[in-house]
Amino acid sequence: MKLNEKILHYRKAAKLSQEELAAQVGVSRQAVSKWELGDATPEVDKLLALAKAFGVTTDELLSGEEPAGVQGCTPPPREETPVYTVPSAPAGDNFDRATGLIGRLIRRYGWLAGVYIAVGGLPIAIIGALARWGFGAMFAASSDMMDSMGGFGGLGGMGGVEFSPGTPPEVQQAILEELGMVPAASPLGGVEGFFLGAATVAMAAGVVMMIAGAVLAAWLYQKGNKKL
């Protein structure tokens, strides 16, 4: 019985896969496959490790005699089992264990996705609120400056009508309407509406993300705990 046939026999007798035997001996799975196919011969230190893994002596491993009760053991055909082919894993082995682990992680920690969404919505809401406040203050200051200059968009100084400082805009509007005078539209009105609207949308989107993320996290957390 050749050495490659003995390695194959003892590995199967020990119920070891090529990966498990390779790990015990300290080589790659391809090296074990080459040994069993007879394409390579183990080094002396690897022979000792093989004998230890199989629970036999090196003499038994190197002897040309067949082990007791063996009716012959031939290596797998080269056509069916190339060196680069990964051997089929037993049921529930590598792939099943990996997918099962991923599924358990999703069930246990999937609620963190909702937390990330909620946390991501917080800065968006803050930026939108700050932008709305900043744009509002900027356009209010521009409007006050134009009013003080009696320019376009201002209610004071229109058509010879003068208002005392501090007169509320709504009072000025009512007086002008009674006199049949309509104040000119401010050229900043459209720009102001655009920027304030965009800031409001951003703030609302952030708030929606926070609420949706919190609800999703709570739902996934309860669902994951029920399945564990």
The series of mean pLDDT values per 10 residues for the chain, 228 residues long, is 86 90 91 90 87 86 68 44 49 56 65 82 90 83 66 46 72 73 57 83 90 85 66
Spell out where the chain has E strands.
none
Q: What is the pLDDT of residue 226?
A: 61
Q: What is the pLDDT of residue 175?
A: 77
C-beta separation of 181 from 161 below 8 A: yes
Q: What is the pLDDT of residue 75?
A: 45
> Cα–Cα distance between 195 and 198 in angstroms, integer?
5
Measure CA 189 to chain center: 43
- Return all residues near 83 (Cβ < 8 A) that are at least 6 apart: 30, 33, 34, 37, 39
Q: What is the pLDDT of residue 173?
A: 74
The residues with which 158 forms a beta bridge, in sequence order, are 161
Angle at which helix 3-13 crosses helix 44-54, to 10 degrees, equals 30
Q: What is the pLDDT of residue 104?
A: 65
**Secondary structure class of 161 (helix, strand, coil):** strand
Name the CA radius of gyration of the chain, rounded.
Answer: 41
Q: What is the pLDDT of residue 19?
A: 93
C-beta separation of 9 from 70 below 8 A: yes
**161 phi, psi to nearest 5 deg:** -90, 120
Tell me which residue of 83, 52, 55, 69 sits closest to 1, measured CA to CA. Answer: 69
> Cα–Cα distance between 18 and 161 in angstroms, integer?
99
**158 phi, psi to nearest 5 deg:** -95, 125
What's the pTM? 0.36
> Cα–Cα distance between 24 and 119 in angstroms, integer?
47
